[in-house]
Structure 1
Amino acid sequence: MPFSFSSQLFSVVNVWDVFLITDRVGQAVIVLLAIFSIFAWAVMLGKHSELKKLRELNFAFERKIGQERHILELPENLKSRRDIPYADLLADALEAYWRAAAIGKEKGDDNVRSRLEHAENAIQRALARQTLRYEASMIFLASVVSGAPFMGLFGTVWGVMEAFTAAAEQGSATIVTLAPGVAAALLTTIAGLVVAIPSVFGYNFLLGNAKTMITELENYASTLADRIELEAK
């Protein structure tokens, strides 16, 4: 008898059998959550790889620029790396600086202050653009984190309602008649949590990395503006 009780207590629920007895609405919810889970994992893994690569490229570019004595006269190969966030800021700043210088000479009103203002404005625009790049796809993960549990709850409420409706039609509300329907209904809640829990950890991890990189980008932008100003004087 003890062995029989233990076997029943630790028996594994056959999720596939429960899924098969779930009504079509519940199955649709579970399938949709499975699709969201696949996309969420793809976004998390892809975003982690992207941020890691961008950070390595940023640091390598910063080291290379640090070895240059004159930032305003950099070779073209260092100014055309738009795929690197730090290089994108530098390219925009230098383009704006020399464009302001050319226009100022044409009008006979060329001055260092005007050049620096245009360069700083270009840096701010590039900074905002790269910030959006860091945060891209994060809204999808946030939506999955907040929406998946509610989708699972919807499937559960719908399944419980269907189970009680079927029991009422049969004229019997015993545990035997209700248990399969309620178990099937609860499967959608489990599916919602299975999708949401990894997503919330992944979202917080990636958001923390993105914020750190944005702070590093802002520090680099400030350093870049200071260096241009020192060389322009």
Structure 2
Amino acid sequence: MPSLLFPPLLASLNIWQVFLITDHVGQVVIGLLAIFSIFAWALMMGKYSELKKLRQLNFAFERKLAEERHILDLPENLKNRRDIPYADLLADALEAYWRAAAIGKEKGDDTPRSRLEHAENAIQRALARQSLRYEASMIILASLVSGAPFMGLFGTVWGIMEAFGAIAEQGSATLATLAPGVSAALLTTISGLVVAIPSVFGYNILLGNVKTMITELENYASTLADRIELEAK
């Protein structure tokens, strides 16, 4: 009856007992995988929250910008919001546009085409910079996804080696002889999967969000370039 009423508690006790009889190498591997698991969850939750916030800021800024009839002479509160990706593209574009205009007037060859080329180049640079911002930390999560199973495999192989070494030393394959090595093999395998399985799902979800937001950013950049070109004529 107790085993039916409290299966999670008994399972946790069994896992802890298995961990205690695991050799030191296995315990180190399991401890590292536990740290990696906590780090992966924190990274996934933080990245998801960051992308969600940036997307909300982008859409809010785009709505404000749509209400403006002219974007070449925007107020400062709309031009200098570098924390918003969409605003960062706009700020770089306008800065390049007016800088090209000033230099062109000094040289006597100021043309709308020259201004537009400088603005479009600035938009492309800002687009690349913000894409890198979206993708930040994803390589770390990808490394955890691919590295955790290999760490678990290392613990598995080590545990099997320990089990065979104990058999050779004792000359018999008893439960007491095999327990530490087999425990290390099984528990490290489970630990590696516990890290890798949630991480691979989280990575794929985040990667999909990043790709969507980069596409939205590219569409916004194209729209921004069009508006500047229309107003410059």
Shorter-chain TM-score: what band? over 0.9
Shift of 1:107: 0.6
Contact 2:23 2:180 in 1 (8 A): no
Mean Cα deviation higher: 19-28 or 180-189: 180-189
Greater Cα shift, 166-175 or 142-151:
166-175
Instruction: After superposing the two structures, state which structure 1 stretch, 36-45 or 94-103, moved more.
Output: 36-45
Aligned to 2:164: 164
CA distance in 2, matches of 1:165, 1:86: 62
> How far 1:181 sits from its partner (Å)?
2.4
Q: How far is 1:174 from its partner?
A: 3.8
In structure 1, what is the Cα distance between the partners aligned to 2:223 and 2:149?
Answer: 44
Which portions of structure 1, spanning 4 or more consecutive aligned residues, are displaced by more than 4 angstroms?
A: none
> Percent same amino acid among aligned pairs?
85
Please tell me whether the aligned partners of residues 96 and 122 of structure 2 are also in contact (alpha carbons under 8 angstroms).
yes
Q: How far is 1:21 from its partner? A: 1.0
Task: Give 1:24 deviation, angstroms.
Answer: 1.1
Partner residue, 2:105: 105
Letter in structure 1 aligned against 2:69: R
In 2, Cα distance between the equivalents of 1:37 and 1:212?
Answer: 27
What code does the residue aligned with 2:109 have?
A: D
State the one-letter code of the partner of 1:220. Answer: Y
CA RMSD of aligned residues (A): 1.6
What TM-score, normalized to structure 2?
0.93
**Structure 1, unaligned stretches of length 5 or more?**
none
The yes-or-no answer on 1:30 pairing with 2:45 is: no
Distance 1:31 1:104 in 2: 63
The 10-residue stretch of structure 1 (139-148 or 176-185) with the greater mean CA deviation from structure 2: 176-185
Deviation at 1:175, TM superposition (A): 4.8
Q: Look up the match of 2:227.
A: 227
Q: CA deviation at 1:180?
A: 4.3
* CA deviation vs aligned residue, 1:97-118 (integer Å, no higher than 9, x gap): 0000000001111011110000
**Aligned mates of 1:180, 1:91 — CA distance in 2:** 62
Q: Is residue 215 of structure 2 the alignment partner of residue 215 of structure 1?
A: yes
Which residue pairs with 1:62 in the alignment? 62
Correspondence list, 1:62-211, <5 A = 62-175=62-175, 177-211=177-211
Give the TM-score of the pair, scaled to structure 1: 0.93
Which secondary structure does the structure 2 equivalent of 1:71 belong to? Answer: coil
What letter matches 1:203 in structure 2?
A: Y
Aligned to 1:74, the other structure's residue is in SS state coil
* 5+ long unaligned stretches in structure 2: none
Cα distance between partner residues in 1 of 2:93 and 2:206: 29
The CA distance in 1 between the partners of 2:120 and 2:37, in whole Å, is: 42
Q: Secondary structure at the match of 2:145?
A: helix
SS at match of 2:72: helix
- Cα deviation, residue 176, structure 1: 5.2
Pairwise CA distance, 1:38: 1.1
> Deviation of residue 53 (structure 1)?
0.4
Deviation at 1:23, TM superposition (A): 1.0
One-letter amino acid of the structure 2 residue matched with residue 26 of structure 1? G
CA distance in 2, matches of 1:228, 1:86: 15
Shift of 1:63: 0.3
